[in-house]
Amino acid sequence: MSDNHDEAHTGAIKNPKQFLASTVTAFVVPIFIIIGLVVFVTSGNKPNAGVDNPEMAIAQRIQKVGNVEVRDANRPLRSGEEVFKGQCAACHATGAAGAPKFGDAAAWAPRIKTGFEALVQSALKGKGAMSPQGGGDFNDTEIARGVAYMANAAGAKFAEPGAPAGAGAAAAAPAAPTAPAAAAQPAPAAAAAPSGGADQAAGKKLYESTCVACHGSGVAGAPKFGDKAAWAPRLAAGFDEVLKIATNGKGAMPPKGGSSASDADFKAAVEYLVNAAK
């Protein structure tokens, strides 16, 4: 009777080996299960830079196929630094939207290894969150110069592309007079065009060449173009405050969005963004 009573109170653990096994089961296994769940949840919430990101996929589907623009073929080609400040700095100055940051050798190293031509093609055709960069105020040669400038700042030794064959001759050749000097007088009439329309056109052009990089798809926390809900709290502060923040920069956005536009053109671009969200 006594033996049976003692055995009933000893429980399932009768030796150190069983005690160790029960300890592992009760404490160690749940810890590994919790770690696995945390890894699974956090990895599932990471936004992908490609088509797995719905906003990026939509932005890529609706972006423009191409632009038809009339450029001054006789103007001097701009340097890589000018291209960077006028267009590329919007993302590459701060590393927004996954762009390799200017001067970051580690971020640029694997890209430099692909070669200059591959980098130029990525810039012209677009990649990930970066829309095609062949539009705006810059031609393909200038974009290539901008790529060389950024890559060289991170350790590359690429030569800055020269002017295409024949371009220098065209720029150097003086234009043949086709009419008396008096025929050039209509220029003041063009300046007398309504400023509102000119400002709107300038604002739209600057948006499409610079601001769209972030505001087109809402990357890096930028309020998306035309998204009234995202713009509402900003518009509540008044246009002057919106313009001030955009001019000075905020968060991932550098001053003036990284552009070198004039104050008038930049203000027109901000107005274009604001009006689209009213």
pLDDT, mean of residues 79-99: 83
Task: Write out pLDDT tens, residues 185-217.
Answer: 443 333 333 345 567 788 788 777 778 777 877
pLDDT, mean of residues 96-111: 88
Task: Write out pLDDT tens, residues 238-261.
Answer: 888 888 888 888 777 778 777 778
- How far, in Å, are 49, 52, 142 from residue 38 at the CA level? 22, 21, 47
Nearest alpha-carbon partner for 151 in 125, 130, 120 = 120
Q: Supply the DSSP symbol for 85.
A: I
The CA distance from 79 to 161, in Å, is 10
Check the CA dihedral 265-271-272-274 and report its sign: positive
Whether CATH 3.40.50.2300 fits 80-163: no
The pLDDT assigned to 106 comes to 92
Domain ranges of the chain: 2-41, 80-163, 194-276
Nearest alpha-carbon partner for 220 in 106, 126, 99, 127 = 99
Entry field: residues in the chain: 278
The answer on pLDDT for 182 being more than 60 is no
Give alpha helix (H) positions in 24-139: 29-44, 54-62, 80-83, 89-92, 105-113, 116-125
Is residue 115 within 8 A of residue 127, CB to CB? The reply is no
pLDDT, mean of residues 83-87: 82
Whether CATH 2.60.120.260 fits 194-276: no
Q: What's the pTM?
A: 0.44
- Helix, strand counts (H, E) of the chain: 16, 0
Confidence band, pLDDT 50/70/90 cuts, at residue 135: low
Residue with the larger pLDDT of the pair 222 and 11: 222
pLDDT, mean of residues 122-151: 78
Confidence band, pLDDT 50/70/90 cuts, at residue 10: low
Judge whether 80-163 and 194-276 match in fold.
yes
The pLDDT assigned to 57 comes to 56
pLDDT, mean of residues 47-74: 53
